[in-house]
Every structure is written in structure tokens, then in C-alpha cells.
Structure 1
Amino acid sequence: MQRVTIWDEQVTTGERAALAPGRPEGLDRSPDVLVIGGGVIGLAAAAMCRRAGLGRIVLLEQSPRLVPGASSGNGGAIAPDMHVLTDPAEFVAFGRRSRDLYRELDAEWGGAIGAWATRWLDIRPAEQIPAGVWRRLDADEVRELEPDVRVPDGAAAALVEGQLAVNPQRLAAALARRAGQVATGVGLLGVSEQGGRVCTVHTTAGDFSPGALVVATGLLPRPWHRLVPQRWIKGHMLAVARGPWRLRSVLAGPFGGGTPLPWGGVVCGGTFDDGDTTRDVRPEVADPMAAALATLVPAAAGARIAHRWCCFRPYVEGRQPVIDRLPGVDNAWFAGGHFTTGIMMAPATGAALAEWIATGAAPADVRTFTLPGQRNPA
């Protein structure tokens, strides 16, 4: 699986070091909070627990590098308003809370996250754009806003402003620096329970006895893996190099699209290659996304494809995030199954976990994000 993404070229030496800390000396064996999983959800959980003053935090990632999966290779979109028509109101509200937290954290951390503002043009057949939800633009209005974008005959655009985007690897480095004690190359082996609590977490680096445990491994690991139907779903991404066009809006919809980058080029994707379990990048799957971009931006026809890559996204039955206490224990939680929205939902997920650990009560805004078949207490 190709791991060189457009984002790899845009991080500093210091950020790369933060993403591959190795195993530090003197790992705390009895942290107040132990986080298993160094994707963006685990990093956000650790950083927000530390920000909330929950004591000593330790995060363990089994790979040699943090964000080894979809967290480092996604499109970097933080666009909750684009989910108004496709997801429940609670999902959209949680995404908006997360977007607000990004702005707050980036200001608090001196711009370390590097989020930038985006506006979206969702271009689709005109009859598919609902009235009264977004501002609708016809082809002439789109051309005025984006001179190099051409709207197909019979189509129109919905304009959605006020969204954000990030370099996911820069985000991960910013979170890692604020996540407490972070170790890579340490895998989860299992847990021991006593009296309705996880008392010992067994890892390849020895045992830990945490006050609270957060499992953020994308999908539920053993021994909980049989609780819900779940699987990894492969997706391709690509980036085209800077070209002779102007594009300031993210383009989306059934005709194709892409995210313009501040430093040039466009990221396109991703695909949903359910059933493809290979880790190979397949140009025949990725390259049609560049052709689809050219449908809307004719000047992009024949644009050079600078990067192709693929990753696997965590899908839990229901296609909604899971933020829930693990069954049968009082001091352990699972956060995962974010599928394509891990980056968007990360800070709100971390904040909700920190609140739940601190108070013992499920925050109101995650009570719909339960493990299928489970129900959080009111």
C-alpha cells in the first residue's frame, strides 16, 4: 500500500519526529488515563483528557508511526454542514461542535493545527438540490464565483460556506505534542477485569494498570470484536499537481470534485472499494477521480497526477461513530467506527470522552453514538 500522500510533503522535520516518538524511557505503568490507538481519534482523546486536567495520560500505538491508517491519508475535510441531508441532526450538531473546537484549539495552540477556511460547491442535477437548506447557485452564478468551473447542463450548485480543512498529519503532530506520554511500536494483547473494571491492560511492552481506559483502534479489538458487525473499507485518494486553473472552492457531488490546496494542486477522493482487501494502490480505480474533476474544471483535463494512495476506513454497523462505554466495565470506553469522518469528529469525540471520564455520566451529545444493541444511561 502506497503511503506517500500529498500531506507527507507538507510537514516539518519536527512534525515528523512527533509522529514517530518510539518508546520513551520510564513509561508510566499506572496512568490516570490509558489510550490504546494512535490514530486521530486516540490522539484527540489523549490531548483533550490532558487539557481537561485528568492527570497522567499515556497513549500507545502498535505501529512504528502515529496515524498509520486513514487518519493520515484522508482529505482533511471538516465540513459538518455538508452532512445536513445525509445524517441525523445529532451527527451534524456534533460535527459543528467539533468544528468550533478546531477554531478554539488552533487559537489556543498558536496555529499549530493550521486549519484553513473552506467553502463548498455541491454540484448536482438541479432537482436534487432542496430549497431552503443551502444557497442555490445557477451556472452563471457559479461561473462568477469560480470562473474556471463549468456546471453540466441541467445542474446547479449548493453553496456551503464556513467549513474548514487541515493537513491531517500536521493535526496529528499538534495533538501528539499535547497528548501526554506517547509511545509507538506497542500493541494491545488483552485486558484483565476485576469487580466490573479493567484492572490490567496487557501489551507488548508489559502491563499497565490505568484508572480509565480508552480504546480508539478504529474497530473493536479482541475481546470485544464480536459485539457488532464491523469491517475495514478500502478507499483510494489522489492529488493532481498545480495547473492552469483557479479554484477556491471545494467541489463535491455526483459529477466529481476535489479540494484545492493553499499551496497548489487538488486532492480528489475517496472511493469506496468495499470487498477489496488488498493493500495495493490501483490506478484504474484512482485515476477516474482526476477525469471527474476535469468534468467540472475543464482546464484540469490531462492534469498530472502527483500522488495516488489508499487507506482503510473503520466501518461499524449503522455508519455512525461509536462513543460508548465498553459493556461490563465501568472504567473503559470505545471510540471508533468514524468511517470517513474521523478528522471532522476528533476534537468533539475527545472532549466527550474527557467529560464522561471526569463525571461518570454520558454527555448528552453522544447518547446516540452507542454500540449497536447498547443504550447509554440518560
Structure 2
Amino acid sequence: MKATGHVAIVGGGVVGIACAHYLNVRGYRVTVVDKNRVGGGCSHGNCGYISPSHALPLAEPGALLKTFKAMLKPNAPLRIRPGLNTQRWKWLLDFARRCNQTNCIESAQAIHPLLTSAMQLYHELIDKHQLKCEWTQQGLLFVYQDRDAWDAYTSTDELLRRDFQEPARKMSAKELLEFEPALRDNVAGAWYFERDAHLRPDRLVASWRDSLRERGVEFLEQQTLTAMHDSGGWVDHVSLSTQQLAADHFVIATGAWTPQLEKMLRLAIPIQPGKGYSITMPRPEVCPNTPMIFPQHKVAVTPWQSELRLGSMMEFIGYDSTINPKRVALLTSVAKQYLKSDFPAEFSETWCGWRPMTYDSTPIIDRCPSFSNVYLAAGHNMLGLSMAPATGRMIGEMIAGEPTHLPAAPYAANRF
């Protein structure tokens, strides 16, 4: 028996779209609201990885020392704006406290089930709904120039292999260059995660949105949430920029902007906006075939059918939307150290956006403690695309009163 009722989803990124899908298939009437355009944030400009291999949180043993060393280098990929932003410094302190083995494993045990569930769900979604997103399951390379750094990853591989069944294949420089001829011969080696996949995130969101629209989902763009109207712990309607919207249930899937709704939600939300950059260009004549990350320089590379994207950076500088040309130049300068590719002087697109970073690297997927009909789906860090279907399915299960297909406790809103 299909459910009835109306659900309003605030936030039209890939997580909001996934929530809309799994509510629609349960029979709910669904409205998706976005303050700009659907899929215009991080769901547009990320590198498109679907990565079960990314099970470990950022807060892992040794992360603090690596972070401080990196920040001392010119053009470091990580930047923290100095100043008296108490929320940012509290977040960083909480992050620092989790840089130990126990907390690292705890976070990974929450992250990995979302990733593996989402991988399976993507296969089902793309096959059933014919989503046009350039899906390719071709694996992911971690490429190193330094032999010691390459060898040091062995312990991480052992952990992922033993505890999460996510083994990587170690490739020597000779094997790597045969496998990926677009790389320069200064590489020391790589680790290859064969199970990972990639897609074009902008095309996924556009195709999924169109599919949902055909199935009756309504989309309201250029509508900012300005107020939630409470009737004794129950929100009966919300105020948007130009209209009121009533619904039986509300889902907040606003990514890095969620902390700006703390007063409305009556809940402290420890999400910091982590600013990232990407550039997209036509495929160069010498173009890699396999997506890859350069862990020593924190730059990612994604080849698609007609274009190539480079992405990187983590800037904790608030909601500053300025595109810093030095940060953009760093993407190409690093890529040139590894790839034989000639990059054009002008790009198809230069982009920046904010990742919703929790200090434990784990999203919030839960009912809001202050309201019986408001749900949160936010804080997916750098893995929103990789986690979206599993998150959407869990939100659909929660609203329908069904048992969730993954244990819900690790994603609780009150865990902070």
C-alpha cells in the first residue's frame, strides 16, 4: 500500500533529489525547493566520484601534523582564514580531538555502509530509470611521486582490506605507466581501487530531475526558506521568498548552508563550509582514461567523454564566493607535474562551492529533535554524490515509518 501525504524538500542538490526519488516511489506528493537552481551547488562542480574506497574520515591519526605541515607550504591546498570565528575554531578543536584510531574507526563504520549501499542503489537507479550521466565503473587511482609516501599507504590499505573489504591493488611505476600512459614517468607507483566508479554530476542531477518531474515531483527554484511555522512541535507550513508552502513533512537537505537555519531548527549544527574549486576543459589530446587522485598534492582528475575536470582545495573561509586565480592555477600546475596533457589557457568552466563538513566526517540523517515532522539530510562532507541514494532511501524509510535499511544511530542529529 502506497503512502499518501505531501513532503517538501528544502535543497535541490543531489541529496535532496535522492530524497525526492525515494519519497516519490512510496507514493508521496513531493515538492523540491531551492534558493537558486536545482543542482547548482556542489552537485554541479564536484569530480563525480562514486567511491566505496573513501571509507576513512578526514580526522584520522596523524591528520593534524600533516595539516599543519601542509599549511606552512606556499599554495597549500588547505587554507584556514584567521580571525575570531568561534564556531570555526570550535569545529577545528572537535576535529582535532577525533584524530585518533578509535574515533577514526567509529566514523568509518558509519561512512562505509552509506557508500556501499549507494553504489548498489546507483546500479538499480541507472538501469531502471535510464539516467543519462556518463556512468563508468573504471576504478580510481591514487598516484604517488614519492616512493616512501606510496609505500606508507600500505597500512591504510591493510585497514581498508581487513575491516571494510575495500582492497586496493598496488601498482609499480612500470605497471602504472602501462595501465595509464598519460602519466609522466616521474611517478613512484599507485594504488588502484577497481570497484569505484565515476559519472558527470551535473548530468546526473539534470536527468534525475527530469525523470522525477515526469513522475509528478514539483520543483520551485529561486525560493529561499525564510521561516518555519510551528504548531506545538509540528511545522504546518513554511515561508519562502514569494509564497507559503504547506506540507505534512519537511526535509532539510541544504548542505553547507544548513547552519544558517539553526535558529529555525532549534538545533546546533556543527557543519563548516569547506570551499573547493574545480575547472572543466575539453579533453586534451593526451588525456587520462582513469580517474585519479594525487594524495601528496590533494588534486583530483576526472576524464569524461568530452571533457576533463580537475578539482581540489579545502578553504575554511566562510561563505566567500570569490574565485581566487592562484588557487585555480594551482590545479593545473599540480596536474602538469603528473600528466603529459597540455591544458588550454581558457576553460569551459571555473567553479567554486562549499562542502558541508562535519568534524566526524559523518552526515546527519535523522528527524529534527525539535519537530516531529522535520527531517535532516545534511553534512555529507566531500561524499554527497557517493552517499546520496542511501541517504534518500533512509529519509524515505523514516518518513514512511519503515525500518531503515541501515542502522540510523550513527547519523543521529543529537550525537554532537
TM-score bracket, shorter-length normalisation:
0.7 to 0.9
Asked if 1:76 corresponds to 2:51, the answer is no
On the 8 A contact 2:47/2:302 being kept in 1, the answer is no
Asked if 1:171 corresponds to 2:204, the answer is yes
Write the distance in 2 (CA, Å) between the matches of 1:351 and 1:191.
Answer: 25
SS of residue paired to 2:174: helix
Write the distance in 1 (CA, Å) between the matches of 2:203 and 2:283.
Answer: 21
Quick one: which amino acid aligns to residue 229 of structure 2?
S
| Aligned mate of 2:29, from 24, 35, 56 | 56
Write the distance in 2 (CA, Å) between the matches of 1:85 and 1:186.
Answer: 34
| Aligned mate of 1:215, from 252, 263, 283 | 252
* Residue of structure 2 equivalent to 1:41: 15
Quote how far apart the aligned CAs of 1:355 are: 0.7
Write the distance in 1 (CA, Å) between the matches of 2:343 and 2:203.
Answer: 30
Quick one: which amino acid aligns to residue 278 of structure 2?
M
Unaligned runs of 5+ in 2: 59-106, 159-166
Quick one: which amino acid aligns to residue 83 of structure 1?
A
Quote how far apart the aligned CAs of 1:174 are: 2.2
On the 8 A contact 2:300/2:310 being kept in 1, the answer is yes
Write the distance in 2 (CA, Å) between the matches of 1:105 and 1:126.
Answer: 36
Quote how far apart the aligned CAs of 1:265 are: 4.2
* Residue of structure 1 equivalent to 2:409: 367
* Residue of structure 1 equivalent to 2:88: none
* Residue of structure 2 equivalent to 1:157: 190
Quick one: which amino acid aligns to residue 166 of structure 1?
L
Quick one: which amino acid aligns to residue 308 of structure 1?
T
Greater CA drift, 229-238 or 71-80: 229-238
* Aligned ranges 1:239-318 → 2 under 5 Å: 239-252=280-293, 253-255=295-297, 257-275=299-317, 277-297=319-339, 299-300=340-341, 303-306=344-347, 307-318=349-360
Q: Deviations over 1:198-220 (max 9, x none)?
A: 22222234333312111111114
* Residue of structure 2 equivalent to 1:143: 177
Write the distance in 1 (CA, Å) between the matches of 2:360 and 2:264.
Answer: 21
On the 8 A contact 2:43/2:385 being kept in 1, the answer is yes
Call closer, same or farther: CA 1:127–1:176 in 2, change over 3 Å.
Answer: same
Greater CA drift, 86-95 or 72-81: 86-95
Quote how far apart the aligned CAs of 1:123 are: 1.8
Write the distance in 1 (CA, Å) between the matches of 2:198 and 2:343.
Answer: 26
Identity, % of aligned positions = 22
Write the distance in 2 (CA, Å) between the matches of 1:239 and 1:169.
Answer: 12
Quote how far apart the aligned CAs of 1:46 are: 0.9
Call closer, same or farther: CA 1:315–1:100 in 2, change over 3 Å.
Answer: same
SS of residue paired to 1:80: coil
Quote how far apart the aligned CAs of 1:127 are: 2.2
Write the distance in 2 (CA, Å) between the matches of 1:316 and 1:183.
Answer: 28
On the 8 A contact 1:67/1:172 being kept in 2, the answer is yes
Call closer, same or farther: CA 1:156–1:114 in 2, change over 3 Å.
Answer: closer
On the 8 A contact 1:31/1:58 being kept in 2, the answer is no
Write the distance in 2 (CA, Å) between the matches of 1:317 and 1:278.
Answer: 20
Write the distance in 2 (CA, Å) between the matches of 1:101 and 1:120.
Answer: 19
Write the distance in 2 (CA, Å) between the matches of 1:127 and 1:302.
Answer: 30
Quote how far apart the aligned CAs of 1:239 are: 2.9
Write the distance in 2 (CA, Å) between the matches of 1:356 and 1:151.
Answer: 52
The count of residues paired between Structure 1 and Structure 2 equals 341
Call closer, same or farther: CA 1:304–1:118 in 2, change over 3 Å.
Answer: farther
On the 8 A contact 1:95/1:344 being kept in 2, the answer is yes
Asked if 1:118 corresponds to 2:118, the answer is no
Write the distance in 2 (CA, Å) between the matches of 1:163 and 1:266.
Answer: 18
On the 8 A contact 1:241/1:305 being kept in 2, the answer is no
CA RMSD of aligned residues (A): 2.4
Write the distance in 2 (CA, Å) between the matches of 1:282 and 1:225.
Answer: 35
On the 8 A contact 2:287/2:341 being kept in 1, the answer is no
On the 8 A contact 1:106/1:114 being kept in 2, the answer is no
Write the distance in 2 (CA, Å) between the matches of 1:47 and 1:352.
Answer: 11
Quick one: which amino acid aligns to residue 244 of structure 1?
E
SS of residue paired to 2:235: strand
Call closer, same or farther: CA 1:80–1:58 in 2, change over 3 Å.
Answer: same
* Residue of structure 2 equivalent to 1:330: 372
Write the distance in 2 (CA, Å) between the matches of 1:302 and 1:76.
Answer: 20
Q: Deviations over 1:91-140 (max 9, x none)?
A: 11211211211111111112434422232111232222225431111111
- TM-score between the two structures when normalised by the length of structure 2: 0.75
Quick one: which amino acid aligns to residue 188 of structure 1?
L
On the 8 A contact 1:123/1:151 being kept in 2, the answer is no
Greater CA drift, 187-196 or 340-349: 187-196
Write the distance in 2 (CA, Å) between the matches of 1:44 and 1:84.
Answer: 23
| Aligned mate of 1:354, from 389, 396, 402 | 396
* Residue of structure 2 equivalent to 1:228: 269
